[in-house]
Structures are given as structure tokens and as C-alpha cells.
Structure 1
Amino acid sequence: MEKRELRCGFTTGTCAAVAAKAAAAMLLSGNPLQHMKLMTPKGTEADLPLFHVVVKQDKASCAVRKDAGDDPDVTDKALIFASVEFLNEALEDGSAAGCSFVREKTGEFGQLVLTALKGVGRVTKPGLSSPVGYPAINPVPRSMIFDEVDEVRRMAGYKGALLISVWIPKGRELAEKTFNSKLGITGGLSILGTTGIVKPMSEEALVATIRLELHMKAVAGLKRVILTPGNYGESFIKEELNLPEGEGVTVSNFIRESCRMVKEEGFEQILFVGHIGKLVKVAGGVENTHSRYGDRRMEVLWDCARAFLGSEEKEAIRSANTMETAAGILKELGVLKPVMSEVVKRIKAYMTDWTGGIPVEVITFSNTLGILSMTPDAPEMIKKYFTADT
């Protein structure tokens, strides 16, 4: 069967810009519209239907329904609203709307002020694309919104100031399914996009999220960073290491790529924490631990165990269905501790090489047996994690 090409969609930034452009056109013409077009930065035209159209004498608003294409985006089908209203001289600094973005007067044309209402997040930590306290509307969407509204204003010959507001009614609820709270964005979703187009979920998007989180920690002045592949590691960091939730950066399967980013951001130490089922692959030099790149867990484990066991135990190890089972077998054979010590030793060696020499400490665990092993200096790094020189 021929593989179907995945369908692209439009970003929240494109949806907000379309809604804002339509609202501006309706405000300045007095006529309701059913759809609106714009050209995305990628060069693809968006021609999107409008919902909940309201046109009043001094304000117009509408919504665009987000279409993420075949991307499993939590914002798919969400309504992105925008309104545009006349802005009198007393409000031109945007102060009435709180921290807002302002495009200053150009020639005879007045300011454009962009703010966010319900369901659009606010930035609470430095290092993001919006300043602390401002709406989480990234630079490209901001420019798109300002450019489209300005174009409509100029075509209509209106030179006064305008206030643009965007909101997402279900944004706060949907944001709970994203990384926003961890990144320091509270109260809702981000208005995102660089090309205006959503490509079906890709490794590129996941890596971008990891890079952003590492960058924010670097901006905060941290010199040590905790990496973990996923949810098991996050829970372990909180419950077993007694470190606050969110301290670990979830790197998914991108182990070597994350090591490279850690080096680029200038970190000086890494604590790598994770379930043995994922970490054992790294002990075999596996750079991306996704199963599509092969599942060599038992082979790697046996290679770590061969110095402590005879060939008769090889099949028992290699035929185990899970690493939890394999760890249980090693425990029964009395070699769990030395084998796991070899595992973390190899992980440390590979990751130190991938970072170009940044010191790496490793902790691995299982759900049934708890901590299986850690590199010798891992406890000391945990103690230092919250000291003033982090």
C-alpha cells in the first residue's frame, strides 16, 4: 500500500494573524466576513474560515479554528480569537492592557498595541522569546499580526491607533498538556510559529523543545543540569532524590543531541538519571534510544555482564522480556551490583565523549529494585545541585 503523505496545518501564530487581520478589516469596513487570507512566512497561502464574527461600531472580533493537519498537536481544533478596536490617545501606551507589545507610530500612522486575554500564557521566567510579564506570543507571530493589521489599516486609509487582543477560550486547559508550565509560561498556551505552517510532529520539534528548556536554565545561571529520558526519570528525581519537580530536563530519546546542546549552552556538569530500560542502550553507545533504531538492550546488558557470568547464563539474560526481569535475574545470580556498575561506567564514558569532556554522573534505577547503580561522584553532585555556585 502506498504511504499517504502527511498533511500540514497552520500554526497558532497564523491563526491569530488571520483572525486579527479579519477583525481589522471588519472594523474598518463595517462589513462581516466569512473567511480571510494571508501569506505565511513559508510562502504558503492560508485561506481560513471565520467563526463567531461580531462587528460593532468601535470593535470587531472573530475566531479561527486551528487545523494542525496530521500533527498530534493539543491545540488542534482550538478556537483562536482576535479583536481589533479603536485606541484613543489615552491608551496608546498599552498600559490599560498590562504588559503589551507596541509597534510605534510610523509617519502619520498611529501605534498598534498587541495584548493577550484569557487562555494565552504569560511569561514568568527569563530566556524565552517574550520578556517576563508579557504574553507568550513569539516574535514571528507578533510580526505577522502587526504586519497584517497594518496592511489592512493602510489599505483602508485609517491612520489612527488600534488595539489588538488575542485569546484562546480553552487555552488554560490545553496548556496543562504541554511543557508551558515547566518552561515558565502560566495561564495558557503560547502563540507560536516561525514558518506559519505546522509540519506533522517531527524529531525537529522535540529537539527544539529540549533546546529551549536547556537555554532557559543556562540563562538562569545554572552550571549543572539534570537530564532524564522521560516520565520515570522525572518521578524518580522528585520522589527519590528529593529535588523539586521540573528540575530535570526531559530529553526523550535524543541523548547525544542533548549532550551537544548542553555543551553549546555552557553547562559544566551533567547528572543523567533514568530507568535502566532506556539507559542500558546508552551503555552500548546508542545515541538515539528510539526503538526504530534497534533494540539491543539485552545484548548490551550481556556485554556488561559477561565478565561476571559464564556462558550458560547468557541465554537467560538475552531472552528476558524486560529490563526489570533481567535485573531480577542478575540479582538472583548475585551479580546485579557489579554489572550495573559497569553499565553506568560505560554510560558515563559515552556521554562524556559526546559532550566533549563535560563531567557526567549517572544514576539508573528499576521500578521494582530502586536504585541499581550510580557513578561514584553522583551523590556529591546531588548535594551541590542547589548550592550558590550552581
Structure 2
Amino acid sequence: MSDLQEIPDKPLRSGYTTGACATACTKASLLALVNQKNTNEITITLPIGRDATFHIKECKLSKLSATCSVIKDAGDDPDVTHKAEISAKVTFNNTGTIEFKKGEGVGLVTLPGLEIAVGEPAINPVPRKMMTTVCHKILSDYNLTNKGVTIEISVKNGEQLAKRTLNSRLGILGGISILGTTGIVTPFSAASYIASIQQGIDVAIANQHKTLLINSGGRSEKALKNVFPNFPEAACIHYGNWIQETFEKIHISKEIQQVNMGIMLGKASKLAQGHTNTHSNKTSWNKQFIHQLAIEAGYNKETADKVLALNMAGRLQEIFTFDAEENFYQKLLQKCYEHCIKIAPKTTLNIYLINNNNQVIPYKKV
């Protein structure tokens, strides 16, 4: 999962979660099975109380099972599952309960620490509740309360789509997760990314890891793994742009004792000023602040003034040699350290500055 894209300057259309789509498919399939009649459209009530109507792409029906599918519409959100085909196959069982099975393209939980138990399909609690509710309502309406229902959720090409998510890092293998708490996808919302950060830390804790390796993304992680070559995958977290939320989670997670943080030069120039959300739509680097930082680090006015002519933070290396002994970078890292440790004061924090050539500078605490 990478940082969020630039947010378009226009009204944005919302969409529906994979959980809402799976629920629509489940309702359509169970009605088709009960009535032995295909359906073309289905309406469900979302967790936020709003009704949503879905077009059924395909409905396959027999005496024993029914399978309906929908095409997910994520609205204007750059969601990896936008336009994915999600389907639900339902059959009756004799347990009197609602059971969930992993279909093709849906992930399997293999590590502890998530809300779903190891060995279960990666269908989150709210979507499970949504599907269970619609099944119970239909069984009640048709006087079939003695029966149970087995729901098998599938996502076409889900295993390939999952490679563009953080699922494997969370121990979710073989496909995507069925997600959503409201049923609605808010375009360019940070909620799903922040949730993945929090889940990643929970997984690390559940697997007995007390030290985290956190980076903004894959590129900085690759550079920092040269410093920590054997670091366990389950303890590596991508914070993206959400430094505040990452350290808040670390702070309340008492099991985490140490954090090794990698940060790219551009993001460091923002964090040093106190911006703990470093997305370009939220903040940009402040040349005046960096100019003053250079003066505080002991550079003369002539050198510091060169900062004011730069158009991007990455070019600071043209003025200050990218080296651990360069006072400017140590001052920059000091400011970053102070803002992070303020959020999680009981954590042992080590910070490493990374440039585009994958060179790494450690912060030398005084």
C-alpha cells in the first residue's frame, strides 16, 4: 500500500465497501435459493442506516445452492478493489447457525492479533454481522428458522489484488479482506490506512515482538533493512503519512518497548516543524523554517540562505552533504525525534534519515 494519491479538486463521489457488496450478494443469493428464482437487483440497509441498491451481475441457481455477484463501485476513491467482482454462494446447513467459508480471492487469517481468529476467512466483524442479519431476516420471513446458512465469499482476481495491499504483512494470505464499518467508502479517506497501521501493530504484539521497524513505505523500509537485515516481517509497519496515529497506537500498546523509525528527507523536513500528517495535500515543507534550522545548527548566513532558493526538500543535499557528521541533518533528526517522543514518551525511539539513494543517517542522541 502506498501513500494516498493527490486529491482531485472536484466534488467526489462515495462508493460501497467490500462488506456492503458481500452482504448484497448474500441477500440476493439466499432469496434466490429460497424462491428458486433469479434476482436482478437487491437493496440492503447499511450500518449507518441508509439503504443501498445493488445491481446483480450474475446469478447461478440450483436446488442446493445459489451464487450471486456484484461489481464493487468505490466511487472516486483509488481503492484497489474498485470494479472487482464479489460473489456469495449460499447453501443451507443443519447447524442452525450462519457459517462463513473462504472462497477464491478472499484471504485466510494465519497470524494472531486480528479481530478474526487464525484459520478463518478474512471477513471482518461488521460485514459478518451484516450478512448474519440479512440471513436471519430471510429465514424468519420464510419460516426456515430451523435451518442454518453457509456463506462462501469470493473475489475475482482477489489474490492478485491483495498484492497491492498490506494483507500479507498482517498474515492474511491468498486474497483480500472483506472490510467496512459503515458500508460506505469515503473518497481518499485515511481510515483504511490507519486501520492497517493499528492492525499491523496488534499482529506484531500477538507474535511477541517488542520492537518495531516503522517506515513511510516499501522504499524506505528496504533502505532501513540494510541496517536491520534480519528484522521479522511481522514487526515491520508502514506509517505512510500518519505519524501521529502510528505513535498514538504505539503509546497505548504497552508491549512495544522500542521503535526504529526510518523517514525520507522530504517527510523529515515536514515532521521537524511538527507536521505529523505529512501528506502533500495537508502540508508542504517550509523553507523559512529549514533556513532557521540551518542557522541553529551553526551554519553561516550565506550557507543557510541557499535553502531559500530550493524548490524541494530533497535538494537539501546540494547544500549539506548527506552524512551522519553533518550538523544540519542531526538538527533535523533532533526535531523529528522530539515531536515523535512527545506522542509516545515511554518508548525507546531510534530515528534514521533516508535519502533517494537509500543512504541512511542515524540520529545521534546527545
**TM score, norm. by length of structure 2:** 0.89
Check 1:299–1:215 CA distance in 2 against 1; reply closer, same or farther (3 A cut). Answer: farther
SS at match of 1:325: helix
The aligned residue for residue 219 of structure 2 is 232
Greater alpha carbon shift after TM alignment, 216-225 vs 74-83: 216-225
- Going from structure 1 to structure 2, the CA distance change for 1:302 and 1:124 (only over 3 Å counts) comes to same
312-321 vs 139-148, greater mean Cα deviation: 312-321
Query: 1:272 deviation in Å?
Result: 1.4
Q: How much does 1:284 deviate? A: 2.4
- Give how far 1:336 is off: 5.9
* Contact 1:210–1:250 (8 Å) recurs in 2: yes
C-alpha contact 1:230 1:274 (8 A) present in aligned 2: no
- TM-superposed CA distance for 1:268, in Å, is 2.1
| Bigger mean CA offset, 137-146 vs 357-366 | 357-366
Please report how far the alpha carbon of residue 112 of structure 1 lies from its aligned counterpart in structure 2 after TM superposition.
2.8
Residue 305 (str. 1) matches residue 294 (str. 2): yes
Q: Is the 8 A contact 1:238 1:245 kept in 2?
A: no
Question: What is the one-letter code of the residue matched to 1:365?
Answer: I
Matched with 1:340 is: 329
Residue 356, structure 1, aligned to residue 345, structure 2: yes
**Equivalent pair of 1:237/1:248 in contact (CA under 8 Å):** no
Unaligned runs of 5+ in 1: 93-109, 378-390
Q: Residue in 1 aligned with 2:18?
A: 12
Kept in 2, the 8 Å contact 1:62–1:83? The answer is: yes
Relative to 1, partners in 2 of residues 1:221 and 1:315: Cα closer, same or farther, differing over 3 Å? Answer: same
1:216 corresponds to which residue? Answer: 203
- Rate the CA distance shift 1:149–1:221 in 2: closer, same or farther, 3 A: same
How far 1:369 sits from its partner (Å)? 7.5
2: distance between equivalents of 1:312 and 1:85?
A: 76
Residues 324 and 368 in structure 1, CA contact (< 8 A), matched pair in contact too: no
Identity fraction in percent: 29
- Aligned residue runs from structure 1 range 160-199, under 5 A: 160-199=147-186
Q: How far is the alpha carbon of 1:185 from its aligned partner?
A: 0.4
Name the counterpart of 1:278. Answer: 267
Q: 1:25 to 1:374 in 2, by over 3 A?
A: same
Q: Distance in 1 between matches of 2:324 and 2:286?
A: 18
Report the counterpart of residue 146 of structure 1 in structure 2.
132
Question: What is the rounded CA distance, in whole Å, between the counterparts of 2:147 and 2:346 in structure 1?
Answer: 58
Preserved contact between residue 12 and residue 192 of structure 1 (Cα < 8 Å): yes
Which consecutive residues of structure 2, in runs of 5 or more, have no partner in the other structure? 1-8
Residues 185 and 369 (structure 1 numbering): CA distance in 2 closer, same or farther, change over 3 Å? Answer: closer
RMSD over equivalenced CA pairs, Å: 2.3
Aligned to 2:99: 113
Q: Which amino acid aligns with 2:242?
A: F
Whole-Å separation in 1 of the counterparts to 2:178 and 2:69: 14
5 Å-filtered alignment, 1:244-283, equals 244=231, 246=233, 247-266=235-254, 267-283=256-272
Query: Structure 1: how far apart are the matches of 2:262 and 2:229?
Result: 13
Following TM superposition, by how much is the alpha carbon of 1:78 offset from its aligned partner in structure 2, in angstroms? Answer: 1.0
| Secondary structure in structure 1 of the residue aligned to 2:44 | strand
* Offset, 1:376: 4.8
Shift of 1:312: 1.5
Structure number with greater Rg is 1
Please name the residue that 2:280 is paired with.
Answer: 291
163 and 358 in structure 1: CA distance in 2 versus 1, 3 angstrom threshold: closer
